[in-house]
Amino acid sequence: MVFFGEYQISFTSPGRLVLPKKLRELLKGNIFILTKGFNFCLAGYDKEDWESRAKDLLQVSLLEQDNLQKRRFVFSSAVYLEIDEQGRFVIPRNLLAYSDLSDKVVIIGAGDHFEIWSYGRWEKYLKELNN
């Protein structure tokens, strides 16, 4: 499975989004994992793929401070989320605050996962990338 594409969407109610159908179809079931991503976005993973990635993260040495920090960053914020029949899910407050999501967001496919960005932060990221 490969997540790709860019989707601009708005919240249906505070903290609640609809995951685009093309991305939902790539998930195995209605449960996925959402965690903090880099650059203040949120990263979403298929449950089975997440468990495989988690095993990989657990294999790295904790003797290196950088590895320990990455594990704390990723695991401390990870949550299982359920998608309802209309494709909606609710983002926990701590993740909303981290990512500074407001009315308009961008969901992008990033290969092995998808990311949720604030619209403004995504536009700024693209401009910096193109300079």
* Total domains, the chain: 1
Phi, psi torsion values for 57, nearest 5 degrees: -65, -35
76 belongs to a structural domain:
yes
1 belongs to a structural domain:
no
Q: Which domain holds residue 28?
A: 6-130
58 belongs to a structural domain:
yes
The pLDDT of residue 13 is above 70: yes
pLDDT digits (tens, 9 = 90+) for 63-97: 677 778 888 888 899 999 999 999 999 999 999 99
The pLDDT of residue 119 is above 70: yes
The pLDDT of residue 37 is above 70: yes
Whichever domain contains 87, its CATH number is 3.40.1550.20
The proportion of the chain whose per-residue pLDDT surpasses 90, expressed as a percent, equals 74
Task: Compute how many other C-beta atoms are within 10 angstroms of the C-beta atom of residue 10.
Answer: 11
Phi, psi torsion values for 65, nearest 5 degrees: -55, -40
